[in-house]
Amino acid sequence: MIHRAGTPIVNWYLLEEGGRVTIVDAGCPRYRGQLEGALRAIDRRIEDVEAIVLTHAHIDHIGFAQKLQDERGVPVFAHDAEIAQATTGKAPSTEGALLPALLRHRRAREVVFHIVRHGGAKPPKLASVTRYGDGELLDVPGHPRAVHVPGHSPGSCLLHVPAEGAAFLGDALSGWNTITGQQGPTLPPAEFSNSMEQARASLDRVQAVSADTLYFGHGDPWTGGAPSAVAHARELDAAAGGGRAGSPQGVPAEV
Ligand SMILES: [Zn+2]
């Protein structure tokens, strides 16, 4: 069973199998207070939580992971290439300049203010992270398989759950554009991403995932399967001039 939690800005998920629970991404740091209610909604308790699996280690996905690790020793999983981000608390390097985007787009301001207000003024650091690699079947409730889809961040992964006909995309694709607010499915914006070239290349891997329902870090689930979501994202990207040589690019920004 999959349960969506969070806010209209940031999603996180419970993945339940046989009464045991994996938290997939942990929202913003101050979302900890949402956990008991989310567990109650699927008739589970805090004792049933066995693991936190991160699609990537950005602030709005690490969220309350450290808090839960401190409280209950719950292990936190992240891809090899995401360990540095998860454990150092450095601002991620991004391809697009955030400041002009903040000035231009109300939606971008709302996203950043929301994350800051919910404990994300500086990136959290995890004390201990369990690594996983591309293709690995994770031995946690729900048994997701990791598919490395770098671009938004170096170690971004989608988590495929064949038994649910579903995949957690993290921000490899987004339900709406977190800068402009345009509805997706869409590639994540350059202002929040490490390499758009990689993010575009990773769409081939997203497309190959056999899942009817895609759950995003931001926005409503997509129930039309991976190929149509990727086609939609590619259309939006092409319409915006994405991937063309000489397309405008900002300088790296620190949030
Ligand atoms: Zn995100």
Which residue, chain included where needed, has tokens 């699996």? 53
Q: How far is the CA of 58 from the centre of ligand 1 (A)?
A: 7
Q: How far is the CA of 76 from the centre of ligand 1 (A)?
A: 17
Q: How far is the CA of 171 from the centre of ligand 1 (A)?
A: 6
User: Nearest to residue 78, comparing CAs of 126, 21, 132, 140?
Assistant: 132
Q: How far is the CA of 97 from the centre of ligand 1 (A)?
A: 17
pLDDT for 122: 82
Q: How far is the CA of 177 from the centre of ligand 1 (A)?
A: 11
**Number of Cβ atoms within 10 Å of the Cβ of 45:** 11
Q: Which residues contact 52 (CB under 8 A, 6 or more apart)?
A: 22, 23, 24, 26, 65, 68, 69, 74, 75, 76, 77
Helix axes 196-207, 226-239, angle to 10 degrees: 150
Q: How far is the CA of 218 from the centre of ligand 1 (A)?
A: 6
Q: How far is the CA of 10 from the centre of ligand 1 (A)?
A: 7
Q: Decide: 144 and 166 in contact? Cβ < 8 Å.
A: no
pLDDT for 175: 98
pLDDT for 90: 85
Q: How far is the CA of 78 from the centre of ligand 1 (A)?
A: 15
Q: How far is the CA of 216 from the centre of ligand 1 (A)?
A: 9
pLDDT tens column, 98-148:
999 999 999 999 999 999 999 998 888 899 999 999 999 999 999 999 999
In the chain, DSSP finds a helix count (H) and a strand count (E) of 8, 12
Q: How far is the CA of 52 from the centre of ligand 1 (A)?
A: 16
| Parallel/antiparallel/unpaired status of strands 11-17 and 20-24 | antiparallel
Q: How far is the CA of 55 from the centre of ligand 1 (A)?
A: 9
End-to-end CA distance of the chain: 36
Q: How far is the CA of 195 from the centre of ligand 1 (A)?
A: 15
List Cα–Cα distances, 130 to 54, 57, 72, 95, 255, in angstroms. Answer: 10, 13, 16, 28, 27
How buried is residue 178: exposed, middle or buried, by Cβ count under 10 Å (0-12/13-18/19+)?
A: buried
* Rg of the Cα atoms in the chain: 17
Per-residue pLDDT of the chain (255 residues), as tens digits, is 999 999 999 999 999 999 999 999 999 999 999 999 999 999 999 999 999 999 999 999 999 999 999 999 999 999 999 999 999 988 888 998 899 999 999 999 999 999 999 999 888 889 999 999 999 999 999 999 999 999 999 999 999 999 999 999 999 999 999 999 999 999 999 999 999 999 999 999 999 999 999 999 999 999 999 999 999 999 999 999 887 654 444 444 444
Q: How far is the CA of 61 from the centre of ligand 1 (A)?
A: 6
Q: How far apart, in whole angstroms, are the C-alpha atoms of residue 74 and residue 198?
A: 32
pLDDT for 245: 52
Q: Is the pTM higher than 0.85?
A: yes
